[in-house]
Chains A and B, each alone.
Chain A
Amino acid sequence: MPATPAAGRTLGRDLLGLALIALVGLAGYWLFPDNLAFLTRVISVALLVLSLDLIVGYCGVASLGQGALYGAGAYAAGIACVHGVTDPVLLILIGAAAGAIMGLLMGAVMLRAHGLPQLVLSIAIVQLLHEGANKASSITGGSDGLSGMSPAPLFGLFAFDLWGRSAYLFGLGLLLIVFAVLRFVTRSPFGMVCRGLKEDPLRISALGIYAFPVLLKMFVISGSVAGMGGALAAIATQVVGLDSVSFEISANALVMLVLGGIGHLYGALIGTVIFMALEHIVAAINPFHWMTLVGAVLIAIVLFAPRGLSGTLDELARLLTRDRWGAGR
């Protein structure tokens, strides 16, 4: 986003965006009242993908290990819940804290390398944590999963039940808050420095800015967002499995992000919704051979929508409105 002369205009657009997300979310609630557990899952993964966008899209650090942060949040919230901390809001905060700490550690290691080796570091970290969670089965339940948590009703009123209404609306609220905060963060001078580091690290360092602490800070923020996603999943599902800290979930997150388009927070949301809906629908229609179709769609996206879905939408919008200040990069 270039520093636009029309600051009021971006604020207005942000509010519009938030309202749009809320509207889509509530529409999902009314239109698909029977799929709320799935939609809650979408929100929790959306938080994961958003957190990944902070690192990939804003800092240019490729990661295939974002599951480490998500899983840290999920397990922290799950373990706390099993040990008697049942307030959902508190559990989300615990998840955020655990994710942030993990983000700090992971960033400290990953920022030592660049490019492909960096990617491999992220894989190694998530695999190590996966092994660790499997080994520490007395705390984490190992491969049988951590079960037996019963989060208290939200605000003492709304129970997390079969229909999953409270879980969904809780998740939607969380997503809106996080999204608003992230819009603010990415637009702040700090966010700008991150972008600068991605586009032209040399010039930024010539300005006397040392990259490491800046990027590390973004890792911590990203970790807390991913941790909240994990905690939300733990609360809504009441089971935490090893899959939450796996390479698979990390790779899926990256696929969704690239699909939606990196470097716009909207892209992360669009990618998550489209990918998961596609997978869900195709897998329900043909549970046996859906993989081929999803693969074909991924190929098609790369060929025909090179900048991700949101990038393509932007271009369309720009073509239609001929808006010079259009939401290009």
Chain B
Amino acid sequence: MDSGSTRLRRLSGMTVVVPSAYDTPEQQKARSMQTALSIAMDALAYGMALFIICIGLSLTMGLMRVVNLAHGAFAMIGGYIASYAARDLGLGYGFGIVLAMIGTVLIAVPLERLLYRRIYDRSELSQVLMTIGITFCVIGITNYFFGPTLKTIPLPAELARSVDLGFRSIAGHRLFVIASGLVVAGGLWFLIERTGFGINLRAAVENAPMARTLGIRTEIIYAASFALAIGLAAFGGVVGAEFLPIEPYYALRYMVTFLVVVSVGGAGSIPGALAACLLLGAIDVTGRYLVPDFGNFFFYLAVILVVCAFPRGLMGRAQ
């Protein structure tokens, strides 16, 4: 157990726990800076991984108004496909990602036509019920075909290597996740705010009948954005697998985390989701470093505080 004093010291300045008596104050300061930077890098990588997985859910919930609790199930399917392609077929990581996104979307599109289309304008509770049902099915089927064990997605040598950042070494994969997160955020923003598709989508969301009279084919818009969200989920499932390992129960295990992150950000808002992921990722990681014994407390406490302060989420739209 920690003694109270070390904890206090650590809280006050992130001082290292076993400083030798000979450290000068400058050395100590440099070291705690280093620690803080290092934690910040971890928090950033974790937050970005969350962002890539969750942003698709934010889109379905915010723009299409579907509480898709099966979002994690699709991320998991992506992870399984990538694992199968990269590990069992030996096709490599990049190919694994592409196959995972294509494969997951191919699985999701018929589901959209058969199931999701019927719940677009139903109550949230019906959506919850159906998507939980879908999650159960996906878990059961995955368990049946792939067994209950963990699946890994082997990283290529470039990503598995550690990269020296000066103050610490970090797994190259984490840098890749951070970069991917930025690309996804930028790309989505561009797509929704700057392209014709984005305009049509926003029109369909604001007022579907009006959009239809203007000749926008809303079903196609919906199907396309659903596919986009699912593709992102699959991508997130694969690149986030180092943080959230792939196994059949993935879909339920992280369902709450995903839902919480999206709501804190404000469903449908890309900057909101990004902010929420980075904030909650940082709180989670820092809390885990400072007071690991109470790691989850801080996470959920932060959620309660944020939601109370911003009842629509950090950057939610007025409804």
Chain A residues engaging chain B, CB cutoff 8 angstroms: 56, 62, 109, 112-117, 119-121, 123-125, 127-128, 131, 135, 247, 251, 254-255, 258-259, 262, 289-299, 301-303, 306
Please measure, in the bound complex, the distance between the C-alpha atom of A243 and the C-alpha atom of B70, giving whole angstroms: 23
Which residues from chain A contact B132 at a C-beta distance below 8 Å? Answer: 251, 255, 295, 298
- Residue from B118, B138, B143 in contact with A289 in the complex, judged by beta carbons closer than 8 Å: B143
- Whose C-beta in chain B lies nearest to the C-beta of A303? B118
Q: Could you tell me the distance between the alpha carbons of A56 and B124 in the complex, rounded to whole angstroms?
A: 12
Assess the A117–B311 pair: CB atoms within 8 A.
Answer: yes
Give the A-B contact count at a CB cut-off of 8 A: 131
> Are B307 and A120 in contact, with the CB atoms below 8 A?
yes
Q: Which residue of chain A has the shortest Cβ distance to B302 in the bound complex?
A: A124
Q: Do residues A120 and B303 form an inter-chain contact, with CB atoms below 8 A?
A: yes
> Please, which residues of chain B bring their CB within 8 A of the CB of A259?
129
A299 CB to nearest B CB, Å: 4
How many angstroms from the CA of A56 to the CA of B138 in the assembled complex?
A: 28
Do A109 and B140 touch across chains, with their CB atoms under 8 A apart? no
Query: Is B308 among interface residues, defined by CB-CB distance under 8 A?
Result: yes
Give me the interface of B with A, judged by CB distance under 8 Å.
61, 67, 115, 118-119, 122, 124-126, 128-130, 132-141, 143-144, 256, 259-260, 263-264, 267, 293-294, 296-297, 300-301, 303-304, 307-308, 311-313, 316, 319
| Whole-angstrom CA separation of A303 from B126 in the bound complex | 9
> B137 near A299 (CB under 8 angstroms)?
yes
A306 pairs with B122, CB closer than 8 A: yes
Are A117 and B304 interface neighbours, CB within 8 A? no
Residues A131 and B304 in contact in the complex (CB < 8 Å), given A123-B256, A291-B139, A295-B134? no
Q: A258-B126, A258-B128, A291-B139 are in contact. Are A299 and B307 (CB under 8 A)?
A: no
A interface: dominant SS: helix
A258: B residues at CB distance < 8 A: 125-126, 128-129
Contact A117 B130 (CB under 8 A): no
Taking CB atoms, residues of chain A closer than 8 Å to B139 are 291-292, 295
- Determine how close the nearest CB of chain B comes to the CB of A33; give it in whole angstroms: 32
Q: Can you report 22 A-B residue pairs in the complex whose CB atoms are below 8 A from each other?
A: A112-B311, A116-B124, A117-B263, A120-B303, A121-B307, A127-B296, A128-B296, A128-B301, A131-B296, A131-B300, A135-B294, A291-B139, A292-B137, A292-B139, A295-B138, A297-B133, A298-B133, A299-B134, A299-B137, A301-B129, A302-B118, A303-B130
Complex: A254 Cα to B140 Cα, angstroms? 21
Q: Which of B125, B140, B311 contacts A56 (CB 8 A)?
A: B125
Cα(A128)–Cα(B300), bound, Å: 6
Given contacts A117-B312, A302-B133, contact A295 B256 (CB under 8 A): no
B307 touching A117 by the CB < 8 A rule? yes
Q: Which listed residue (A123, A135, A297, A302) contacts B126, Cβ 8 A?
A: A302
Q: How far is the CA of A299 from the CA of B260 in the complex (A)?
A: 24
The 4 closest A-B pairs by CB, nearest first: A295-B136, A298-B133, A292-B140, A295-B137
Least CB distance, B122 to chain A, in whole angstroms: 7
Instruction: A262-B125, A292-B141, A292-B144 given; name 8 further pairs at CB < 8 Å.
Output: A112-B311, A113-B307, A128-B297, A291-B137, A294-B133, A296-B133, A299-B115, A302-B129
* Nearest CB in chain A: distance from B231 CB, A: 23
Question: Please, which residues of chain B bring their CB within 8 A of the CB of A303?
Answer: 115, 118, 130
- Inter-chain CA distance A186–B259, complex, in Å, is 32
Residue A295 contacts which of B133, B263, B297, B304 (CB distance < 8 angstroms)? Answer: B133
Task: Write out the residue numbers on chain B whose beta carbons fall within 8 Å of the beta carbon of A124.
Answer: 260, 300-301, 303-304, 307
Query: Do residues B130 and A116 form an inter-chain contact, with CB atoms below 8 A?
Result: no
Q: Residues of B contacting A119 with CB < 8 Å? A: 259, 263
**Residues of chain B with a CB closer than 8 A to A296's CB:** 133, 137
Decide: B130 and A302 in contact? CB cutoff 8 A: yes
Given A123-B260, A299-B115, does the pair A254, B300 have CB atoms closer than 8 Å? no
Residues of chain B lying within 8 A (CB to CB) of residue A306: 122, 126
Most buried by B among A124, A131, A289, A303: A124
Query: Could you say which residues of chain A place their CB within 8 Å of the CB of B311?
Result: 112-114, 117
Q: Is the beta-carbon distance between B136 and A294 smaller than 8 angstroms?
A: yes
- C-alpha spacing A301/B125, complex, angstroms: 12
**Which of B61, B119, B126, B300 is close to A127, meaning CB atoms less than 8 Å apart?**
B300
| List of B residues within 8 angstroms of A290 by Cβ | 140
Contact: A120 with B263, CB < 8 Å?
A: yes
| Residues of the A chain whose Cβ atoms lie less than 8 Å from the Cβ of B259 | 119-120, 123
Contacts A121-B304, A301-B129, A302-B130; is A289 near B140 (CB within 8 Å)? yes
A37 to B18, CA, bound (A): 55
Asked, given contacts A56-B125, A254-B128, whether A109 binds B263 with beta carbons under 8 Å apart, the answer is no
| Bound Cα distance from A305 to B134, whole angstroms | 16
Q: Report B250 CB to chain A, min CB distance, Å.
A: 14
Q: Which residue of A lies closest to B301 (CB)?
A: A128
